[in-house]
Each structure stands twice: as C-alpha cells, then as structure tokens.
Chain A
C-alpha cells in the first residue's frame, strides 16, 4: 500500500512540475514588457564564444570575429544596403584604362588614441598587409599592385592589368595606424591595447576571451555619422530564444516554428534574412559522360520541384534555386534567365530524345546501349533529407538515385577530389562579387589568372569562358553588369550545376530597444554591419 501511495505522490509531483512549466510561459510573457524598456543605451547580442582579439591580425576567421574588428577599424569603402559607399575615402576614381585607382582620403579623421589619420596611414596599411597578410586578405603580393602617395590626401594604386573588383578589394582593407604598427613584426601575437586603435565608430572597452564577452563603446571623436547606440555588448547565452524573450539579448535568429510567436507580439520585429547561402546539386561530367549532355541536366532540372524542396526541407524558410546561379537577393541577379518550373512531360521528352526510352523492372530508364540513368548522390550527414527529396523527385522521371551520406570531413574531401557522380553541397558567399561565377564555372584551360576552382568538372563553354574572363577586366560597372547578366543566361541554359535552394532564416529583434538594423547588400546578418549602429538618412 505504501508503494502505491508513494508512486502516486511521485506522479503528483511530476504533474505539478509540468503545470508550473506551462504556467511559466504566461508569466514569462507578462514580464517581458517591463524588461524591454531598460536597454536603450546598450544593445546586447549573443556572445560567449571567443572570436579572438578584434585587431585585423588576431580575430578568428569566422564572420563574428571579423565584424567585431570592423566596429573598430574603418576601411576606405564601406557596404550599405545598395552597394559600396565611400568611407575613409571620400571618393575614388578609376582611370580610363582601368590601371590606376586614385583614392581621396577624408580630412579630419582621428585615431582612437587622438592622433590624426593621414593618407600615409592608408599607404602603410596596404604595404603592411602585403608583408604580413591580415586574417582576411583581399590583395596579395603576387598581384603586383604598386602604391604611391599622390599628395597629402590622395593615394594612387597602380595595377598591371585592369581589374573589376580591385577597387573594392583595396577599399575593404582595414586601415591601421602607422605610428603603432610600424615597429610590430609579429602582428598575430601583438595583443596590446594599441593593437585595437582604429578610426571606427566603436572602441573596445572590455574583452574577456575566457567568457567570450566583448563590450564596445562609442568613440566620441568619430569622424562619421553619429552612433545611435552608446555601447554594444556581447554576452554568453545558454538558449538564445530564452535569452531573447527574457530581454538579455536584443536580437536573435529564429526558425519557422517561432515566426508567429514573435510576429504577433508587440515590441518585436521579424525580418527574413537575404538568402546568400545555398545548396547545389553538382555534377562530375568528366568521369560520367552521360552527365556531359546538356539536355540530360536540363531534364533533371525539369524533374525537380524546387518550391516543394524548400517547403519540405526548410519548412518554407528559403528561396528556390535559380538556374542562373546568382540568388534573387543578389544586386546583380538577372530575373530574365530561363526558368525550370517542374515539368515532367518536358523532362520525359528530353530523355526520350536522348534515347532513354525503356525502363528496367525497378523503373530506371536506359538507352539502347544499355546505359542506365542511375547515379550515386553524396550528401553530408546533415543533409540526408534533402538528398532523399531529390531522390524521390528524380525517381518519378525514371532516374535512379542512390543517396550516400557522409560526415563533413569525408564529404569535403570527396568534393575536393571530384570523387562523385552527383553531390549536394551547401555553401555561402553567394552574395559576394559575381566574379565567383568565373571561379566556379570557367574551364581551367581558359583560366589565365590561375584562381579558378572549377565546380563542374568537365564543363567547358568557350563563349562563357570568354565572357567570364572579360568581365573581370571590365571596370565600367554598367557594362560589367550586362556581362554578368549574359553569363547567368548561359548558365541557366547549360545547367552546369543546379542550385536547389537558398535557406533564408529569420531574425527577430526587440524593436522597443533598438530598431535601426540594416542588411549589407551582400551579407545576411543584421548585427554585422557597422552601419547598423550608426544614424542613417
């Protein structure tokens, strides 16, 4: 009898606990409003992970490290919602032959230690970054770009050949003070207070690498727009949603499940991040002659219902892949390229034209030579579901797919060695300069610069190769944009790879605390641009 009584009592305790937790949700919501109003001068963000000392040489490689550094260090150009804008350089001119870039440096800019910033510092930063490459490098010694001081406020860069992206690459180098760095010969281990003296809107006030906390304070003598936030703090967070709801942090990423919860509540804003990260289906054409045939790749694209892929794999939080490769949120996206809405009839027509008329007992098509349309598809272990959705959709057309999943390291290794027939791979950087199209799709044989990492082994289109080579030399932005548009049209026709979808998460922020967030034109995170913390028109 005692046994029964104690079991019942224990059950009662458990039920009470559950009820308390349910009630807790109500209590939590009720207390939110009182907390929200407290953070006016401070924006608190998720930290807790060491991103390194925020000097251009000591921050860690991933995004959060470099964007913290950018709060302190300015560069000649900056990125807003639309594109590149003058920053420490109030203007820049590119000569007609595209070989010379003249930056005019702003007057009256002060370093955070009170010294005056000059064009000499700009020249020094460039030369120093060649000697000691910063964590993120944009221009290298091999590029053979010369620099000279034209006068007190102008710096001239001279390139051996015209280069469409050079002005931006030079424009994003963090400018460091010559009077501090000139005697430093081990910059990676230079972790003194002086190492974080920049001209940027924020100064490092406190940094604790053990706890992963950072505090940045507005720099009073900042040359540019007023700061709209007095201090930015990065603090450790256990569960980001819980911390966000409690008011510990002012911004967080949320999944589709939580959308309605924050969209409907007053005081919260939710925005969808631009989609600059994407999953793509890649082909190894060189080792699989079947895949070399454009019509077959087109048929595969017609067989895929990419909207359905977004719905099922990302529960709608994403943008369906664009055959022109460049994602729709990109500033140079061409909306006019050939589209491949799912069309099984068209796909079948293409396959029959190629001779894949009959099917095996398992429903896999084969041609007269007995070649079956059956492929191994490699995916990373996190992406098995995506692989299975593709498998299911392609099987409707009679294309057999065998999904093989692997852990990340093996997967990346396989990717590097082109050891696959089909592979699904996710990656970022799709928002950046469209020169990535050259690096990914130009045939290595046509590559004069030596930096092509071909993603579609065996793909070679001479017209495309020429366009891709030319756009890199075209310094007239409008003309270049036309070329990039044309490139997208060719890619959409050729289908050297199929972008499946670009996941687009949501960001929720406490509008009552701070609501002046913005996206840079090529980047997905609201909290990364320094302009997010400055007054804008």
Chain B
C-alpha cells in the first residue's frame, strides 16, 4: 500500500515539475523581451538603449546561462518567491496573495451552492423521472450550462444591476464608506458577490445535476430500495438516507475534480463583474505584458488544480475503500 502511495506522490511531483518547467520555458521561448513594454509609455513600442536593456537583463538575471536561471527559479519557488512584477514593481507573491482570497471566496461559495442545489435538483428529477417537472429541469439546466459563463454573467448583470438596480454593477465591496460593524461589511461583501456567485453556479449547475440524476436513477433500481419501501419508510427518508447517501460518491469526486475548471470560469466571470480576484489580475497583467505576474498566476492556478485532483483522489479512496484494494491488487 505504501508503494502505491509513493507512486502517486511521485506522479504528482513529476507533474508539478513539468508545469514549473513549462512555466519557466514558455515566456523565454517567446520572441522579443519583456522590457520593450517598459518604455511603452504612450503605447509606443519605444526602443530602450542597449545600456538600459542590459541593466534590466542583469536586474532580472536574464543574462545568466539558462540552466543557472532555471536552478535559481526552482530555488526561488521553493522559498515561495514567484519573482518580481516588472510593471507593478512589487513581489508577485504579495500581489497574488492579495487577490487570491476573492477568487477562492467565489469558487468555494459556488462549489458549495452548486453541489447542494445540483444534487437536490438531480435527485428530484430522478425521482420524478419522465414527468413534466423532470423534463423542464433537464432542458433548462442543460441549456443554461451550455451558455458560456461570461454571457450568462452579462445578462444577469444587465437585468439585476442595470435594469432592476438590485445589485451593484461592479466591484467586491462599497468604496469610500465606513462600516459601523463587521456584520454590515459582511452583508456588503455578500451583496457584491451575489451575482458573480449566481452566475458561476448557474453555469456549472448542469454537470452536477446530470451526474446526480444519473447516479440516483441507478441507485433507485437497486434491490435495497425495494426493501426500504417494503419496510414502510417515508419518501423523504428514502430519498435522503438511502438514495442520496449512496449516490454521493461520484458527486463528491466530481466536485473536487471540477475545482480547477471553476477557477477558469471564475477568471472570466471576474472580468464581467470587475471582481478583484485572480482573473481580473490576469487580465491586467496581460494588458501591461507583465510576464512574471502572468507566470505567477498561471503557476498558482495550475497548483490549485493539482491540489484539487489530489484531494479528489484521497476523498474517493476514503469513501470507497474498494479503489485502494483494487490498486493494491494490481500493484
């Protein structure tokens, strides 16, 4: 068993190394250099003098041999140092840490909401399989989840903020105001986050709904449900205790596996709502061609996806011990 775990760890470490190496190599393989834009004050591709370019090359260590740059890059990463932002003149780690909580807040809220709502709707749909309600949910949820999140976001922004004025048009909290207590502040933050979370949830609801529906449908056909019904248990108890519990396994795994793509979705949605998370930061970094910052964000997102996968792995084993014993048998 230890051997299996060891293999897994090596697999993950190798993946991290590949990502880190790509992250190091790709920007260096691009034509031009990041210092072109430093002198690009009026959007003019101005030319730095050779002396100035040399100064920046030395400052960022780009004049050293590639293998040395790579080793020092790895060393910096191990110390949690993602480099220095060329445009913002600040440590990339600091910039990312400042924005990360907002993205995590959106993603985690969405995961919770979507899992609960998706599972419930999926179960109800399966329970009423074939009737009008099932058809209605099925059609609408699948349609909505096929629409890209940023379009759903724009529609929601237009209707609920611009037209009805129920929610703010942009940002994560009110500005230039003082809160009388933390509760007011929390409410304000929730008020601002509501539409982005709803958008992300709607965009990602279809997958969980379908999964829950299929999973419940397969559980419904099991013999033990006949037993439960024969025992005279209530419908609610059967649905919650006997069906959902047994149907949860794929849903939980899917939830963790989809964390990565949710971060991707959040990046688009943040841009629609001008929400100050990693997504908006990414757009800003691309606008000003800040390569170290773009690299930093890319790496953080990639690691986030890996960690989510690892968690899915572990949790799956926890819920379904058969997996581990199978692996042991094949190992």
Enumerate chain A interface residues (CB-CB to B < 8 A).
2-3, 5-7, 9-10, 13, 17, 20-21, 24, 27-28, 31, 48-50, 52, 58, 60-63, 136, 188, 205-206, 208-213, 215, 233, 235-239, 242-243, 245-246, 248, 277, 408-413, 415-416, 425-429, 453
Indicate whether A243 sits within 8 Å of B163 (C-beta atoms), given known contacts A62-B288, A416-B36, A427-B44. Answer: no
Q: In the complex, which residue of chain A has the Cβ closest to the Cβ of B140?
A: A10
Sample of 11 further A-B pairs with CB below 8 A, known A50-B88, A239-B157, A416-B47:
A2-B135, A6-B135, A17-B159, A24-B162, A48-B274, A62-B41, A136-B41, A236-B175, A245-B162, A413-B32, A416-B45
Give residues 112-151 of B contacting A (CB, 8 Å). 130-132, 135-136, 138-140, 143
Tell me the nearest residue of chain B to A238, going by C-beta. Answer: B170
CB distance from A95 to the nearest CB of B (A): 31
Determine if A409 and B36 form an interchain contact, defined as CB atoms under 8 angstroms apart: yes
- B-chain residues with CB within 8 Å of residue A49 when the two chains form the complex: 284
The listed residue (B47, B136, B139, B173) touching A453 by CB distance below 8 A is B47
Q: List 17 A-B contacts (CB under 8 A).
A: A5-B135, A10-B140, A48-B171, A52-B89, A60-B88, A60-B288, A211-B175, A233-B175, A233-B176, A237-B169, A239-B154, A409-B30, A409-B31, A413-B32, A427-B44, A429-B44, A453-B46
Chain A residues with CB under 8 A of B87: 60-61
Q: Which residue of B lies closest to A66 (CB)?
A: B41
Chain B: residues with Cβ within 8 Å of the partner, total of: 51
How many angstroms from the CA of A73 to the CA of B154 in the assembled complex? 39
Are B45 and A208 in contact, CB atoms less than 8 angstroms apart? no
Contact with A along B28-43 (1 / 0, CB 8 A): 0011110010100111
Q: 10 closest Cβ contacts across the A-B interface?
A: A428-B42, A24-B163, A6-B135, A413-B32, A238-B170, A427-B44, A236-B171, A412-B45, A429-B42, A409-B32
Residue of A nearest to B99 (CB): A210
A210 and B43 CA atoms in complex are apart in Å by 24
Closest Cβ neighbor of B153 among chain A residues: A238
Point out the residue from B136, B175, B284, B288 that lies within 8 Å of A10, measured CB to CB. Answer: B136
Chain A: CB-nearest residue to B36: A412
Contacts of A52 in B (CB 8 A): 88-89
A246 lies within 8 A of B289 (CB): no
B276 within 8 A of A: yes
Residue in B36, B43, B173, B274 whose beta carbon sits within 8 Å of that of A413 in the complex? B36
Q: How far is the CB of B149 from chain A (nearest CB, A)?
A: 14
Q: In the bound complex, what is the Cα–Cα distance between A213 and B172 (angstroms)?
A: 11
In the bound complex, residues from chain A placing their C-beta under 8 Å from that of B46 are: 453
Could you say which residues of chain A place their CB within 8 Å of the CB of B161? Answer: 242
Bound CA span A28–B173, Å:
23
Complex-state Cα separation, A478 to B130, whole angstroms: 87
Is A213 a contact partner of B284 (Cβ separation < 8 A)? Answer: no
Inter-chain CA distance A425–B136, complex, in Å, is 54
Asked if B41 and A243 make an inter-chain contact with CB atoms under 8 angstroms apart, the answer reads no
Q: Is B304 an interface residue (CB 8 A)?
A: no
The answer, among A205, A208, A236, for a CB contact under 8 Å with B170, is A236
Closest residue of B by beta carbon distance from A35: B165
Q: How far is the CA of A211 from the CA of B162 in the complex (A)?
A: 21
Q: Tell me which residues across on chain B come within 8 A of A63, comparing CB atoms.
A: 41-42
Q: Which residues of A contact B132 (CB under 8 A)?
A: 2, 5-6
Q: Which residue of A lies closest to B46 (CB)?
A: A453
State the Cβ distance, A428 to closest chain B Cβ, in Å: 4
Q: How far is the CB of B174 from chain A (nearest CB, A)?
A: 10
Task: Convert B164-192 into 0s and 1s, putting 1 for each residue whose CB lies closer than 8 angstroms to a CB of A.
Answer: 01000111110110000000000000000
The residue from A21, A236, A416, A453 contacting B159, defined by CB atoms under 8 A apart: A21
Whether, in the assembled complex, B158 has its beta carbon less than 8 Å from a beta carbon of chain A, the answer is: yes
- Chain B's closest residue to A414 (CB) is B31
List of B residues within 8 angstroms of A206 by Cβ = 175-176
Report whether B163 and A28 are in contact in the complex, using a CB–CB cutoff of 8 Å: yes
Q: A48-B171, A48-B274, A210-B99 are in contact. Are A428 and B44 (CB under 8 A)?
A: yes
Answer whether residue B98 sits at the interface, using C-beta atoms and an 8 A cutoff. yes
Query: Is the C-beta of B155 less than 8 angstroms from some C-beta in chain A?
Result: yes
Please tell me if B20 contacts chain A, counting CB pairs below 8 Å: no
Closest to B87 in A: A60
Q: Which residue of B lies closest to A453 (CB)?
A: B47
Contact B135 A3 (CB under 8 A): yes
Closest A residue by C-beta to B30: A409
Q: Does B197 contact A (CB under 8 A)?
A: no
Say yes or no: B139 contacts A6, CB within 8 Å.
yes
CA of A213 to CA of B175 in the docked complex: distance in angstroms? Answer: 7
B290 to chain A, nearest CB (A): 10
Q: How far is the CA of A61 from the CA of B43 in the complex (A)?
A: 11
**Which of B31, B159, B173 makes the CB contact (< 8 A) with A211?**
B173
Which B residues are CB-close (under 8 A) to A236?
170-172, 175, 274, 276
In the assembled complex, the Cα of A239 lies from the Cα of B165 at a distance in Å of 15
A239 and B98 CA atoms in complex are apart in Å by: 24
In the complex, A21 Cα to B162 Cα: how many Å?
A: 10
Whether the Cβ atoms of A235 and B175 lie closer than 8 Å is yes
B316 is an interface residue with CB less than 8 A from chain A: no
In the complex the two chains form, what is the Cα distance from A93 to B1 in whole Å?
Answer: 87
Q: In the bound complex, how far is the Cα of B273 from the Cα of A235, in angstroms?
A: 13
A210 touches B98 (CB 8 A): yes
Task: Give bound CA distance, A191 to B311, whole Å.
Answer: 41
B154 CB to closest chain A CB, in angstroms?
8
> How far apart are the CA atoms of A63 and B89 in the complex, in Å?
17
Q: Mark B238-279, 1 if CB is under 8 A from A, else 0.
A: 000000000000000000000000000000000011101000
B176 close to A213 (CB less than 8 A): yes
Q: Is the CB of A248 within 8 A of B135?
A: no
**What CA separation (Å) do A429 and B183 show in the bound complex?**
49
A2 touches B163 (CB 8 A): no
What is the bound-complex CA distance between A2 and B273, given in angstroms?
Answer: 38
Contacts of A248 in B (CB 8 A): 169-170
Query: Is A238 a contact of B273 with CB atoms below 8 Å?
Result: yes
- What are the residues of chain A within 8 A of B154 when measuring CB–CB? 239
CB distance from A394 to the nearest CB of B (A): 24
Contact residues in B for A246 (Cβ distance below 8 Å): 162, 165, 169
- When chains A and B are docked, how far (Å) is the Cα of A537 from the Cα of B88? 39
Contacts of A27 in B (CB 8 A): 163
Task: For the complex formed, measure the closest distance between the CB of A414 and the CB atoms of chain B, giving whole angstroms.
Answer: 8
- State whether B157 touches A238 (Cβ < 8 A): yes
Per-residue interface assignment for chain B, residues 279 to 320, with 1 indicating a CB less than 8 Å from any chain A CB and 0 otherwise: 010001000110000000000000000000000000000000
| B32-A238 in contact (CB<8A) | no
Q: Chain A's nearest CB lies how many Å from the CB of B53?
A: 10
Residue contact A243 to B169, C-beta cutoff 8 Å: yes
Contact partners of B169 in chain A: CB under 8 A: 237-239, 242-243, 246, 248
B276 touches A212 (CB 8 A): yes
Residues in B neighbouring A10, C-beta threshold 8 A: 136, 139-140, 143
A21 interface neighbour in B43, B155, B170, Cβ under 8 Å: B155
A372 to B155: give the CA distance in the assembly, Å: 54
CA distance A426 to B89 in the complex (A): 27
Report whether B176 and A410 are in contact in the complex, using a CB–CB cutoff of 8 Å.
no
Given A9-B136, A28-B163, A215-B176 contact (CB < 8 Å)? yes
A28 CB contacts on chain B under 8 angstroms? 162-163
Chain B neighbourhood of A211, CB < 8 A = 171-173, 175, 276
Check if A409 sits within 8 Å of B176, measured CB to CB. no
